[in-house]
Amino acid sequence: MTSQTPDRLSTVTQFILERERDRPNATGDFTALLNAIALAGKRISHDVNRAGIADIIGLTGETNIQDEQVQKLDMIANTQLERALAPTGLVCAIGSEEEDEPVQLENGENGRYVVLYDPLDGSSNIDVGAPIGTIFSIYKRKTPVGSTSNSLEDMLQPGRDLAASGYMIYGSSTMLAYTTGEGVHLFTLDPEIGEFILTNSDLKDDGGAKVYSANEGHSLTWDKVDLEWVSQLKEEGYSSRYIGSLVADFHRNLLRGGIFAYPGNSAAPNGKLRLLYEAAPLAFIMEQAGGSATDGKRRILDIQPTELHQRTPLYIGSASEVERIIKMRAHTSTTATR
Ligand code: AHG
Ligand code: MN
Ligand code: MN
């Protein structure tokens, strides 16, 4: 990873304001939106760090639309984000991994944005102290401002139309990364003062580490291309690193280089990860850092969503690594048709 190590003390708010000043038609909306998300992140970080003490570990007893058991912290994070975004008046609707349908926000008709998020990614790691996170996407709405948002039309947008995306990771420190299409910027929460402080601006993935992240426990359900791909990496001496939280595996690969894969499989051809609030927002970040992301054939950011919770196979990381798997899959599909 290469980046500019800042020679000044800057909070996320100051950093965005500075960049908004360079844009004459900036409205300050984005500052307010990212501030709201950062505020929710501070609250979630606080809750995550005291989960074991405050009896907020464990299950709610509900199952979500993903057919996954909902953890108490999934819902707490979901609520924190909605409570932080609603008062901005900038968001007409929210799409969440934990909400079956889009959530229209009160007085949201004048909101110019929709926000989609995975409020807590890596839930299975909550009670074992491994890093977890929040992943978010921000789109400009497509329906006219002033109308109650026809939220699905506003939400089912391809990642290439993202206004911004980012993630927060609650690990050994709490960090926030975002992009608006002009580079990736990374901030670290200083819990003493409750501010996200700029730690790296304009992160670039230099492709470095020979690392792959994939859950080989599922490899019996993989197709032969994925099996061939992983054995090639092993022959080339790659190390395997898999935390089981997408946001943590992604963050490591963004900083150090490497490739993350959650392939489709015989049981679930589209794999497990969700396009709108896991794959696309991280693909936008990765491309801005010089890497890339594919479903094995298509650029993730070019996929036109048809459902709010649709899943996609995901290969994301250094551009050369993603290129390799695309070529291998294309080659197999042509030879297979011969
Ligand atoms: P979530 O906790 O939001 O449901 O996401 C979990 C995802 C992702 O974070 C991770 O990469 C993947 O599930 C791990 O799945 P496996 O346990 O099948 O490897
Ligand atoms: Mn997730
Ligand atoms: Mn989640």
Residue 151's domain comprises 2-203
* Model confidence pLDDT, tens digit, residues 292-314: 999 999 999 999 999 999 999 99
User: Nearest to residue 168, comparing CAs of 251, 271, 54, 242?
Assistant: 251
Which of residues 170, 203, 236 is at a domain's end?
203
Choice from 117, 124, 249 to test ligand 1 binding pocket (greatest atom count within 8 A of CB): 124
Regarding the beta carbon of 122 and ligand 1, being less than 6 Å apart is answered: yes
- Give the rounded percent of residues in the chain with a pLDDT score beyond 70: 95
Query: Going by C-beta distance under 8 Å and a sequence separation of 6 or more, which residues neighbour residue 112?
Result: 29, 90, 92, 140, 141, 145
Do 32 and 175 belong to one domain? Answer: yes
Question: What residue owns the CA closest to ligand 1's atom 11?
Answer: 246
* Structural domains of the chain, count: 2
At residue 26, does pLDDT exceed 80?
no
- Measured CA to CA, the distance from residue 23 to residue 17 in angstroms comes to 10
Q: Whose CA is nearest to atom 17 of ligand 1?
A: 244
Ligand nearest the Cα atom of residue 68: 1
Same domain, 185 and 216: no
Q: Do 195 and 281 sit in the same domain of this protein? A: no
Residues 120 and 266 both lie in one domain: no
Question: Which ligand does the CA of 77 lie closest to?
Answer: 3
Kindly state whether residues 11 and 138 are assigned to the same domain. Answer: yes
pLDDT at residue 70 is higher than 90: no
Ligand nearest to the CA of 247: 1
Query: Residue 289's domain is classified under what CATH number?
Result: 3.40.190.80
Task: Say yes or no: CB of residue 118 within 6 Å of ligand 1.
Answer: yes
256 shares its domain with 172: no
291 C-beta closer than 6 A to ligand 1: no
pLDDT number for residue 151: 84
Helix residue spans in 61-210 (DSSP H) = 72-85, 151-155
Same domain, 168 and 229: no
* Single pTM value for the model: 0.94
- The pLDDT of residue 30 is 86
Q: Are residues 197 and 161 in the same domain?
A: yes
Q: Rounded to whole angstroms, how far apart are CA atoms 121 and 43? A: 16
What is the model's pLDDT at position 337?
A: 45
Question: Tens digit of pLDDT for each residue in 28-57?
Answer: 888 899 999 999 999 999 999 887 666 666
CATH number assigned to the domain comprising residue 31: 3.30.540.10
The rounded Å distance from CA 322 to ligand 3 centre is 25
Name the average pLDDT for the chain.
91
CA of 7 to the centre of ligand 1 (A): 37
Question: Per-residue pLDDT tens for 77-129?
Answer: 999 999 999 999 999 999 999 999 999 998 889 999 999 999 999 988 988 88
* pLDDT given at position 338: 39
Mark which of 203, 227, 258 sits at the end of a domain: 203
**Which one of 69, 245, 274, 277 would you pick to mutate in the ligand 1 pocket, going by the greatest count of ligand atoms within 8 A of its CB?**
245
pLDDT at residue 268, as a whole number: 93
Residue 240 has a pLDDT of 97
The closest-lying atom of ligand 1 relative to the alpha carbon of residue 68 is: 4
229 C-alpha to ligand 1 centroid (Å): 21
Centre of ligand 1 from the C-alpha of residue 273, in Å = 7
The closest ligand to the CA of 278 turns out to be: 2
Q: Which of 182, 203, 224 is the last residue of a domain?
A: 203
Q: What is the pLDDT of residues 319-336, one digit of tens each?
A: 999 999 999 999 876 665
Place of tokens 């921000």: 138
Ligand 3 centroid to 333 CA: how many Å?
33
Give Dmax over CA atoms of the chain in angstroms.
Answer: 63
Distance 45 CA to ligand 2 centre (A): 16
pLDDT band at 136 (very low <50, low <70, confident <90, very high): very high
Ligand lying closest to the C-alpha of residue 274: 2
Which stretches of the chain are assigned E, i.e. beta strand?
A: 2-4, 59-63, 69-71, 91-96, 103-104, 113-121, 132-140, 164-170, 174-179, 184-190, 195-204, 211-213, 239-240, 259-262, 292-294, 314-317
Residue 69 has pLDDT above 80, yes or no: no
pLDDT at 317: 96
Centroid of ligand 3 to alpha carbon of 186 (angstroms): 22
Query: Is 272 a pocket residue for ligand 1 (Cβ < 6 Å)?
Result: yes
Return the pLDDT at 65. Answer: 75
Separation of CA 102 from chain center: 18
Same domain, yes or no, for 194 and 216?
A: no
Cα-based torsion angle of the residue sequence 249, 253, 258, 263 in order, rounded to the nearest 10 degrees: 40
pLDDT of residue 336: 54
Residue 191 shares a structural domain with residue 46: yes
Is residue 185 domain-shared with residue 329, that is, in the same domain?
Answer: no
Residue 165 has pLDDT above 50, yes or no: yes
Lowest mean pLDDT among 56-65, 72-81, 233-242: 56-65
Taking the centre of ligand 3 as the mean of its atom positions, its distance from the CA of residue 166, in whole angstroms, is: 15
pLDDT for the residue numbered 166:
98
Give distance in angstroms: CA of 251 to centre of ligand 1: 14
- Cβ count within 10 A of residue 264: 20
What is the tens place of the pLDDT at every residue in 238-260? 999 999 999 999 999 999 999 99
Ligand 1 nearest-atom number relative to CA 217: 19
The region, left, alpha or beta by phi > 0 then psi within -120 to 50, assigned to residue 272 is alpha
Residues 28, 164: one domain?
yes
Q: Do residues 305 and 156 lie in contact, with contact meaning Cβ atoms separated by under 8 Å? A: yes
244 lines ligand 1 (CB under 6 A): yes
